[in-house]
Each structure stands twice: as C-alpha cells, then as structure tokens.
Amino acid sequence: MARVFVKGNEAVIKGAILAGCRAFYGYPITPASEIAEAAALLFPKVGGTFLQAESEIAAINMVYGAAATGERVMTASSSPGISLKQEGISYAAGSELPMVVIDVMRGGPGLGNIAPEQSDYHQIVKGGGHGNYKVLVLAPNCAQEMCDLTALAFELADKYRNPVIILTDGFVGQMMEPVELPEPITELPAKPWAVAATAETSGNLISSIYLEPNELELHNKNLQEKFSNITKEEVRYEEIMTRDADLIVVGYGIVSRILQTAVEEARAEGKRVGLLRPISLWPFPSTPLQDLAQTAKAFLVVELSNGQMVEDVKLSLNGRRPTHFYGRMGGVVPTTKELREVIDGLLEKTEAFS
C-alpha cells in the first residue's frame, strides 16, 4: 500500500481508479474542480476515458450511457451543478444503472459562494429528482475516507444496480492529508444485463420508461424492495464515547471532526458527552440513535445548514429525548471553542435532560 499526501478531491480519483473505474465525464466547478483535474491527468494513464462535457446535464447523460455498457463510471460536481444533474440521476435510478456521483457542497442557495456548506442534504438524501427512488449516500470526513468510501461506492453501486453519491463539503475536498492507498481491485463483477455491443447482449434494454401503469407500479414495487434491503444491510456510522454519555452530539463531514475535538476536550473535564457520526446518510443510522436514547438524556445536531439532517434525527428519536440544533450557514465553519460553548450550555441546562 502506497502512502500519498493529497487533497481530498484528488483522493477521490485515486480511490476510483483503484476500484476499477475507467470513465469520468464531468464539468469543472469550484470547490470540486480538482476532481476533474485529477481525472484528466490520471484516467488516460490507466487506459481510461476522461471527457469534459459541454454542461452538467450532458455529463450526467454521458455517465448514464457509459453505465449502460457495464463500465464503472463516475462524475463530480458541486451544489449548483448537482442540481442540474438531478434529472439524469432519477433516470439512472429508474433504469437501475450503477454509477458514482461526487457532490462537494458549497454555499447557497443560488450561486452562493465557494465556501463549504452542508445544505445539499435534503436534495441528495431525500432525492432531488422526480419519482419514487433513493440513492445510497456516503459522507466522508477526511481525505482517507474520500478515497476509501469512493472505492466502496463502486462496490455498492454494482451490488444494488443503483447510483451512489459521495456527499462531502468544500473543506474536506480542499484539505490535504496523508492517504494510504488500498490495493487495486483486479476482478470486477459480471454484468449480464449491460449492453456491451455483443450478440449475447443485443437483446438487453436499458430504460426507465414503462408506459403501462401496472408495469410501472410493479417496477416501483421492485425498487422499493431493493431500497428496503439496502436499509437493512448498508447502515454505516461511528460512535465515539457514547455509551455513558448524557449528551450525544451528531454531525457528519467536517463538522464531525470539530465535534470530536470538542467531545474529547469535554471528556477531559469529566463531562459525559459522546459523538455519533453518520457515515451513510441514506440509509440513515436510525436504530443506533434509538439505542443511544435509552441512556442519553439529550441530543445536539450540528450542521453547516439551516437544519436538514436534524429532521432525520428527530424522526429517528420520535420525541423520546430532547433534540437541539446548532447551525452555521454561508460557508462559515464553527470553531471547537464555539461548539464547546454550545455543548457546555446544554449540559448546564437541567431542562434539556427532562
């Protein structure tokens, strides 16, 4: 295993190539542009394809076409560009096409700015496109996970024949850290359903259109069964010092790293605080939260948004414990000191633990 010092955005491409991805179609946008830049440099070196499309819409439809041939394929963008890709992602989910999409979130709404935010949560986790579909969503919090979770994303995409989205933020994407590169995948799964320009696959049809209502309903029911299986099998999360905690803080991405430091500092002072970090945002770790609610007295959700993931935390807890929210917007990232003040303030309020 090689050890390299790279940006999170570059680690994405290294993980993708080692996972057997050989096609990238995209359009540059800050703060995700280094992903396209690294793809342009590295994909041709391994016999792959890099193409800068004329638009975000063109890029996602190129990914759709490549996925239909059985290729491991990806694209990457940031918040406004992801909005443009949503129709194509819905088409891919409806056609059961495996693909990986990277969203490096930036400030919004509209053009916003290029600073980190987490305000795409609703768009990605709840499904920004049309129809009854879901995508698997993984949330790395460091360059190592940008590499590892991207590689995992290709495995999950092929396993379930479904788009997988890596939801990260401009902070993690731009931050440089050491990364241990995994061993390359040498054997990819067979895809007998794909259209591979052979006689054997000439009868295969890749489409999301079902003109007969009963046929479309049956297709939707099959999709829902698949999503139910994903919910049972693919929940991922990390717990840090939670088992005796009075207060559980919840955060993902760069926020989780700041929260971890705040939790460690609070623990050093004898305060019983723990951290639950969702790694899969869909499926969401509802059961672990419910388990923690048996002993914890309150929860605090921190996000770089107006409060989006907090809705899923509240749904998971179903009113069993008080759930508080703290958010920053516009690309403002809270400091450890700032979050310590919020945490300490909650610990001092006895009404928070009613």
Token couple for 108: 């919004």
CATH code where residue 125 lies: 3.40.50.970
Domain count, the chain: 2
pLDDT of residue 353: 55
Same domain? 250 vs 155:
no
Same domain? 242 vs 284:
yes
Same domain? 18 vs 164:
yes
Boundary of a domain, candidates 184, 211, 233: 233
pLDDT in tens, the chain (354 residues): 699 999 999 999 999 999 999 999 999 999 999 999 999 999 999 999 999 999 999 999 999 999 999 999 999 999 999 999 999 999 999 999 999 999 999 999 999 999 999 999 999 999 899 999 999 999 999 999 999 999 999 999 999 999 999 999 999 999 999 999 999 999 999 999 999 888 899 899 999 999 999 999 999 999 999 999 999 999 999 999 999 999 999 999 999 999 999 999 999 999 999 999 999 999 999 999 999 999 999 999 999 999 999 999 999 999 999 999 999 999 999 999 999 999 999 998 855 555
Which of these, 348, 332, 237, 224, lies nearest to 291 by C-alpha position?
Answer: 237
Same domain? 162 vs 18:
yes
Same domain? 78 vs 227:
yes
End-to-end CA distance of the chain: 50
pLDDT digits (tens, 9 = 90+) for 150-168: 999 999 999 999 999 999 9
The span from the CA of 164 to the CA of 135, in Å, is 6
Same domain? 103 vs 185:
yes
Same domain? 50 vs 150:
yes
Range of the domain at 68: 3-233
Which of these, 247, 209, 244, lies nearest to 352 by C-alpha position?
Answer: 247
Claim: this prediction has a pTM higher than 0.85: yes
Same domain? 14 vs 153:
yes
Boundary of a domain, candidates 233, 248, 271: 233
CATH code where residue 306 lies: 3.40.50.920
Same domain? 200 vs 246:
no
